[in-house]
Chains A and B, each alone.
Chain A
Amino acid sequence: MSIGTEDIIIEVKDVHYAYEEDGPHSLNGVSLRIKRGQKVAFMGANGCGKSTLFLCCNGIYRPDSGTILFNGKPVDYSKKGLLDLRSKVGIVFQDPDNQLFSASVYQEISFGPLNLGLPEDEVRKDIEQVIEYLEITPFCDRPAHALSGGQKKQVSIADILVMHPDVIILDEPAAALDAKHTKMVNQIVDRLADEGITILMATHDIDYALSWADEIVLMHEGKVLLQADPVTVCTNQEALEMTNQEEPAVLKLFDKLVKKGVLKENLRPPVSMGQLEQYIEHGV
């Protein structure tokens, strides 16, 4: 595998997709490249095609036209090819109630690796590891219907993680979670990223995207409007407005402080409140 800028794990080339024949296109010529090991935030108004694109990335939907390349090779839509792709690209769905099919947490997590054909004792070891790693132990013997939203989310991440994928796609993981569980899920995501897993995450939280992502993909009406580093995207007023996004609070504040002369103009825009505080603290 080549290194540096050439190491593209997923490449999407001019993909079109419509849910119904002759219906409106959900994806309207999406093209993008995802580098291996990166944290990429997908943003855009509701219904802009993020979820559809994700389902194209692991072969659930087959594009009407255009190609998707995984590790440089076009996706093979044969049964074996799809299983292979799906074992490497995992999706954590937005609503855990649509993903968890068993009332037992243990059974639930065992489903994926068993489908990969791994031997039972290896699967059991993996499940125990992932249960510990994601701190599921305190509630692993409770039925799915007795779990809180955050706990269900943890289980749905475990579902995917236990399959050891190269790419994990999270569709709005923080949706309907309280602050504590959002933080917890974010920490989990950070740890996964540290282990070199490529992470694609749909989110509406631009402050979080700015501080977390290596790259932001801004989608608009089934197309990629902008794919760039977070600061570039977050300072592009026009693009933000078009996609129903607000400029991150920290950048707004930074702007004001620069205009007031409190901070120097040549500073790099901060990506988090912590960084801005540091700027102010050190009086630069």
Chain B
Amino acid sequence: MHAMHTGKFSRADFTGGTLRGLTGFACVIIIAIVAVIVGNIVYHGIGNLSWEFLSEPPRKHFTEGGIFPAIFGTAALVILMTIAVIPLGVATAIYMHEYASKRSRVVHLVRLAIQNLAGVPAIVFGLFGVGFFIEFVGRGLDRGLYGGALVYGQPAILWAALTMALLTLPTVVVATEEALRAIPQGYREVAYSLGATKWQMIRKVVLPQAAGGILTGGILAVSRGSGEVAPVMFTGAAYALPDLPSRLNDQFMELGYHVYVMSTQAFDVEATKPALYSTVLVLLLLTFSLNFTAIMIRARIRRRLRNGR
């Protein structure tokens, strides 16, 4: 088209071609980076990956055996976190959207704060976890219930789970509110006009419709919960534990924390390298599949909304 201006290849075309080329090259670089990272991890990690690796505890300073305790610990952490975060997060979103006045300034501020809390660094949550949960609440419990003995005033899976729950709370609240907002107001009016109380309306119309969005938020929270290390580093995660966590005040092993410690502090890097890569691969697969599931659910919901089901 620009050839119509001048009969020959002009300087403008050259710049245009360069711009197109450069920006396209940027895309290529990014795609290459992702390919290299994933490829490198898969290549070095897949060899060691086996059912034994996933189901057995480590032996000989992590050069043999498996990472089952880390998987178990991660799962336990995430389950506790979910028990705390889903009811609180969903209730908060329901309160803000269905119960509070739409013109309340306080609610508006709270919503703003929740949305921006997502950008606060994870280590700050870890700091809070240590300073508040362990030192303040934990020691307080110890003084009050156990006469000063060290029971809860130390790193424990309970505190790590609560810290993680605070970290992921905004994710759940935002996802639930998004789902609530997508429900046409007409449904609520119809329910009221047929004699529903507020809770009946929420239970029978709103929650079933919002279920998909809530599920998405939950899965994203779980994905973040299993991948973030900073919040659990000092609130409960540990490196080499003889037993699996069985009580709320036990410490636990965790996949991400395990990767961190193994890669920075293990004394025989070469020998532990295969196990390390495989652990990373497991962590990667876990977060990928969770994210993928959440994306699929979200896409299905969007498609259904567009078709006006």
User: Do A and B come from the same complex?
Assistant: no
